Amino acid sequence: MLKALVTDVDGTLTDRRRRINTAAVEAIRTLVDAGIEVVLASGNTVCFMDGLCKMVGTDGTIISENGGVYRRGFGGTLHIPGDQKVCLEAFEVLRDHFAGEGVRLELFSAQYRFADVAFARNIDPDDVRTVVRDHHLPVRVLDTGFAIHLQDPGVSKGTAMRDLAREMGLLPDEILAIGDSENDIEMLKAAGVGVAVANAPEPTRSAADWVPRESYGDGFIETVKKYYPDLFSR
């Protein structure tokens, strides 16, 4: 049995306008009440995730900053495997480069981040990757569709999920993972079952074990009904 669910947030629990799918929230509460561990995973900050967990009704187990930060429960230790220093140094190089082209890079929630760097998508992510490659910067560039992230290449949602699984006394094979973006690929591959909702780009869908017909939060609901039929047939 799949004893835990790790789910992305933006694009997976939301609609195309980034509004939370309330039926998806109800589905999560059904899982939690049945004893299924639910982990929210995102590129967003810990403080954002804490508020979301309280509103949704999970126990505060999170993967934040695309795996650069993770924690078991609200009272658990905040683990920070990501090296933010290399990300900040890389951002300085990018900022100077694009300033020379008349583009100002805008940091997102810098004071609340512990492991990565996120900035606005006012430039092509592939242009960022080119500068990173040409300058041999030791970071990974992630495009979540909402922001561009610079990340320690040794961490991902997948590495954080495996570490959390050990802390939770679970095997990765006992976890269902659901996502929609390139930053979810490692997580989908590491889980016992990886699902990409239908709005996910082709590389993410190709990494998944199954793709529902529905997109966004409706795809999440279709997925949990498929893999936990006893809980949703009542």
Give residue-wise pLDDT tens across range 124-170.
999 999 999 999 999 999 998 889 999 999 999 999 999 999 999 99
Mean pLDDT, residues 164-185 taken together: 97
* Distance, first Cα to last Cα, the chain: 19
CB 118 within 8 A of CB 148: yes
Backbone φ, ψ for residue 107 (5° rounding): -70, 145
Number of other CB atoms surrounding residue 120 within 10 Å: 13
Q: 143: closest CA among 104, 187, 110, 181?
A: 181
The C-alpha atoms of residue 115 and residue 42 are separated, in whole angstroms, by: 13
28 exposure class (CB count in 10 Å sphere: 0-12, 13-18, 19+): buried
pLDDT value at position 234?
62
The catalytically annotated residue of 8, 116, 152, 218 is: 8
Q: What is the pLDDT of residues 199-233, one digit of tens each?
A: 999 999 999 999 999 999 999 999 999 999 999 98
> H or E segment at 149?
strand 148-151
Report domain extents, the chain. Answer: 4-80+155-232, 84-151
For 88, the 3-state DSSP assignment is helix
Domain 4-80+155-232 and domain 84-151 have a common topology: no
The C-alpha atoms of residue 33 and residue 6 are separated, in whole angstroms, by: 16
pLDDT value at position 146?
86
> pLDDT-based confidence at 1, cuts 50/70/90?
confident
Q: What is the pLDDT of residues 17-62, one digit of tens each?
A: 999 999 999 999 999 999 999 999 999 999 999 999 999 999 999 9
Q: 59: closest CA among 43, 42, 36, 80?
A: 36
The C-alpha atoms of residue 167 and residue 205 are separated, in whole angstroms, by: 28
Q: 195: closest CA among 204, 4, 65?
A: 204
- To the question of domain 4-80+155-232 being in CATH 3.40.190.290, the answer is no
Q: 141: closest CA among 189, 183, 109?
A: 183
8 catalytic per annotation: yes
Mean pLDDT, residues 4-19 taken together: 96
CB 217 within 8 A of CB 23: yes
Q: 67: closest CA among 163, 192, 200, 205?
A: 163
> pLDDT-based confidence at 6, cuts 50/70/90?
very high
Asked if residue 192 has pLDDT above 90, the reply is yes
For 5, the 3-state DSSP assignment is strand
81 exposure class (CB count in 10 Å sphere: 0-12, 13-18, 19+): middle
Q: What is the pTM of this model?
A: 0.95
Class for domain 84-151, per CATH? Answer: alpha beta
Q: What is the pLDDT of residues 65-100, one digit of tens each?
A: 999 999 999 999 999 999 999 999 999 999 999 999
pLDDT value at position 191?
98
Mean pLDDT, residues 174-192 taken together: 97
Number of other CB atoms surrounding residue 29 within 10 Å: 14
